[in-house]
Structure 1
Amino acid sequence: MELYITELSKYVITLFMVLYVCECFAVFRYRDEEDRSGTYTRQNILMFLIHFSCFMVICFETGEMSYLFFYAFQQIVLFATVALFHVVYPRANRLIVNNMCMLLSIGFIVLTRISYEKAVKQFVIVAFSIAITMVIPFFVHRLKFLKSLTWVYAIIGAGALAVVLILGTATYGSKISYSFAGVTFQPSEFVKIIFVFFVASALYESTSFFEVFTTAVVAGIHVVILVISKDLGSALIFFMVYVFMVFIATKNPLYLLAGAVGGSGAAIIAYKVFTHVQVRVQAWSDPWSQIDSGGYQITQSLFAISSGGWFGLGLFQGTPESIPFVEADFIFSAIAEELGIIFSMCLILVCISCFIMFMNISMKLNDRFYQLIAFGLGVTYIFQVFLTIGGGSKFIPLTGVTLPLISYGGSSVLTTLIMFAIIEGLCMIHQDEEKEMLRAEKKKLKKLKNQKQREKTYIEDLDESEE
């Protein structure tokens, strides 16, 4: 009986996921949030159906009914998140909230499958993080002085990274975390957001060569600290975000070309200087020749992805635990193995729909500062998705970054939730701009109407005087 349920569930879960993705892109057919309400409702139903179906399979496979209690707590948090955002911020973009909850639910499912203890810990962090991020859209919407803190962002960002470099704990050769009061943080995750605010505040008024050069120096300090810390994945994200934000701010393709040349040169230097970079590049170029050493992770990842097929082996039917650090760096491979290639492709499309909405909000904003913020956060998010999935599928060398909202890691999930909350605040600012434009247009029309009325009265007076 369990075998039949597991086998049937693969197709049902895949069908629900495909339908959810269709709704993700159906949203863009409509301009107003009110017209999208039906689509959002269907998304919520499909999300809860996927979550329920997966946990039913987990309970059947393990025989542990305690998973149902864990599932119930997850449902409460996810439902409360959707409902509270809708009630507290009725003008917020619901696609972002729905996709955020969908990605979190997938993370809960896969982490529960891999390690129940880590899934519980992740759930507690997510619940705490959501409570924090609920207030962020309000502050982003209300605080108007954020654009004037250029050097505050620079000092805080570089200082936080420098603290980790000096006092941080080395993890597999890289200093990426810092422990305080028994809690471990990865400051580079939070500095990503601060860095975006710095570049936006530096370039929103002026894009002169001096401004670009100044921001390049500060960005270079961030990147150099990360390189010395051997956190090359984060360094790459910072560099790419800076290059694309400068390009968008200046609309000068020469800066994009300079970034490409500089990035290529830095990559060559990193390969020459750092041994672990050489190991990763060699493992990427020919993992099969090092299948028992440096290429073990990537070969196991490729085995997992290929063995899943279109619909996956089914939950608890694969061997994701054979991949080292599968819950962090290679969680996409675990998803592909047990939930299938179609499900995994849909997951990528969900991430892309988030990015498109980020860009959509960025283009609609009139304020240059907020426009650059939305663009920078969008690039940060989608580039991290690309690095994680690309590294796990051997498209690019491994960089050691996590899949946002899905991989295990407290700093990563909190940072991504903050990014999504900031975008919601920017969405509310855009709606304020639209209201202001509409108010100005009405005032203009009213003034024009009054002018026409005065002209009409004047003509009538002339006619009466002639008579």
Structure 2
Amino acid sequence: MVFLITDLSKYAFIILIALYTSLSYSVLRKRDQEEVRHGFRLQILNLFLIHALAFVVLYMQTGEMKLAVFYAFQFFLLQAVLVFTRIIYPKANRLVLNNMCLLLAIGFIMLTRLSYDKAVRQFQIAAVALAVALIVPVLIRKCGFLQKLPWLYGIGGLALLMAVAVVGKTTSGAKLSLVIGKFVFQPSEFVKITFVFFVAAMLSKSTEFADIVRTTILAAAHVLVLAVSSDLGGALLFFVTYLVMLYVATKKPLYFLAGLGAGSVAAVIGYHLFAHVRVRVLAWTDPFSVIENEGYQITQSLFAIGTGRWFGMGLNLGMPNKIPVVEQDFIFSAIAEEMGGIFAVCLILICMSCFIMFINIAMQIKNRFYKYTALGFGTLYGFQVFLTIGGAIRFIPSTGVTLPLVSYGGSSLASSILMFYIIQGMYLLKEDEDLQIEKERAAKARKAKRVKDGQSKKQEKS
């Protein structure tokens, strides 16, 4: 009976995630606000049905009451996020909010299945980060001085990265974390945010050649320190984000091409300098020839995705724990194995809808600082998703970055939540700009009407 329900649940998951995904794109085309709100309500319903069904299946398979209690805590957290965000910020972007909650829910489901203790830790960090993030849109909306502190962002972020390079904890050959007592965190995840603020503030102030050189030097210092720390995935994220922001701000293809050239040279140098880069390239080019050593992780990822096929093995019926570090770098493979290829494709499309909304908000904001900031976060998010999924399916070499909001990792989770709420603050700024434009138009219309009425009265008197 349990096996039958688990097997049937695979198809229910696919139907629910497919409906959610279709709504993510269909609401963008609708003009009737009531239809849009109805679409968002259906999204939330599908979100909680996926979440509830997953924990029903897990509970039936294990019989552990702690899963029911854990589900209740997750349910109330997700409900609180949706309700309080809409109450505090009635004009918040509902699609970005819904997508964030769905990705969190999928992360909770898979981590609970893979490691209950890690899932609990992830939930605790998410709860704290979400509570703090609720004030972020207010700060973005009210603190106009944020764009006046470029050097604070740049130098402060670089100092943190240098601290990691000097005294950081080494994990899998890379210095990634700082340890303060029992507290371990990965500064580069938060420096991503300050880095985007720094670049946006500098580029919005000036795009003269001398200023571009100064900005590039400090940005390159970030990338270089990450490379020295062997955090090459982070270095690639910073590099691509800066290159995109620079090109959009200056509209000069020469800068973009020069950046690509410099990046290509750096990649060749990195290949010869760092042994673990050569290992990852070898595992990417021919993983089955070194399946017992360098290629073990990627081959297990491919086996998992292939085993799941389109409809999946069923929740808790696969063997994703055979993939090393599956909770972080390869959680996409675990999802594809147990939830199916169709579910995984829908997950990619949902991440794409987040990216589209980030870029859409960037395009509509008039203030250049906030425009470039939204663009930077959109690039960071989209490229990180590409690196994670691309590495899992062997489209590109594995870079060791996490899938935002889904993979295990407190620093990654907290910084991703902050990023989503910063974007919400920028969306509210866009709404404020639109409202101000409407007020100015109305004021001009009233003034024109008064002038016209005055001219009419003069003509009547004459």
Q: Report the TM-score, using the length of structure 1 for normalisation.
A: 0.97
**1:146-185 pair list within 5 angstroms:** 146-185=146-185
CA distance in 1, matches of 2:400, 2:227: 14
- Pairwise CA distance, 1:75: 0.2
1:307 and 2:307 correspond: yes
CA distance in 1, matches of 2:30, 2:85: 20
- Pairwise CA distance, 1:181: 2.9
Aligned twin of 1:403: 403
Contact 1:20 1:43 in 2 (8 A): yes
CA distance in 2, matches of 1:33, 1:130: 28
CA distance in 1, matches of 2:60, 2:263: 50
Aligned residue for 1:408, secondary structure, equals: coil
CA distance in 2, matches of 1:66, 1:189: 31
Aligned residue for 2:178, secondary structure, equals: strand
Aligned twin of 1:84: 84
CA distance in 2, matches of 1:390, 1:288: 18
Aligned twin of 1:345: 345
Amino acid at match of 2:348: I
- Pairwise CA distance, 1:212: 1.4
Q: Deviations over 1:61-120 (max 9, x none)?
A: 112232111111100000110001010111110111110000000001000110111111
Q: Deviations over 1:161-216 (max 9, x none)?
A: 01111121111221110011311010000000000000100011321111211111
1:212 and 2:235 correspond: no
Aligned twin of 2:287: 287
CA distance in 1, matches of 2:344, 2:255: 35
CA distance in 1, matches of 2:310, 2:174: 37
Seen in structure 2, the aligned counterparts of structure 1 residues 34 and 244 have a Cα distance that, compared at 3 Å, is: farther
1:202 and 2:174 correspond: no
Root mean square deviation of aligned Cα: 1.0
**1:363-378 pair list within 5 angstroms:** 363-378=363-378
**1:213-292 pair list within 5 angstroms:** 213-292=213-292
CA distance in 2, matches of 1:32, 1:239: 41
CA distance in 2, matches of 1:252, 1:31: 36
- Pairwise CA distance, 1:416: 0.2
**1:418-457 pair list within 5 angstroms:** 418-457=418-457
Aligned residues: 462
Identify which range, 34-43 or 91-100, moves more after superposition. 34-43
- Pairwise CA distance, 1:35: 5.2
Q: Which runs of structure 1 show a deviation greater than 3 angstroms over 4 or more consecutive aligned residues? A: 30-35
- Pairwise CA distance, 1:281: 0.3
CA distance in 2, matches of 1:227, 1:295: 23
Aligned twin of 1:47: 47
- Pairwise CA distance, 1:34: 5.9
CA distance in 1, matches of 2:32, 2:78: 24
CA distance in 2, matches of 1:307, 1:70: 29
CA distance in 2, matches of 1:360, 1:85: 21
Aligned twin of 2:325: 325
1:380 and 2:372 correspond: no
Aligned residue for 2:154, secondary structure, equals: helix
Aligned twin of 1:389: 389
Amino acid at match of 1:444: K
What stretches of structure 1 of length at least 5 have no aligned partner?
463-467
Contact 1:33 1:93 in 2 (8 A): no
Amino acid at match of 2:250: T
Aligned residue for 1:145, secondary structure, equals: helix
Identify which range, 66-75 or 257-266, moves more after superposition. 257-266
- Pairwise CA distance, 1:32: 7.8
Q: Deviations over 1:340-365 (max 9, x none)?
A: 00000000011000011111111111
Seen in structure 2, the aligned counterparts of structure 1 residues 32 and 234 have a Cα distance that, compared at 3 Å, is: farther
Q: Deviations over 1:38-74 (max 9, x none)?
A: 1110000000000011111111111223211111110
Aligned twin of 1:117: 117
- Pairwise CA distance, 1:455: 1.4
Contact 1:283 1:298 in 2 (8 A): yes
Aligned twin of 1:465: none
Amino acid at match of 1:235: A
Amino acid at match of 2:59: C
CA distance in 2, matches of 1:385, 1:173: 23
- Pairwise CA distance, 1:33: 6.2
Identify which range, 58-67 or 126-135, moves more after superposition. 58-67
CA distance in 2, matches of 1:31, 1:222: 44
Amino acid at match of 1:143: C
Aligned residue for 1:204, secondary structure, equals: helix
Percent identical: 50
CA distance in 1, matches of 2:380, 2:351: 12
Aligned residue for 1:178, secondary structure, equals: strand
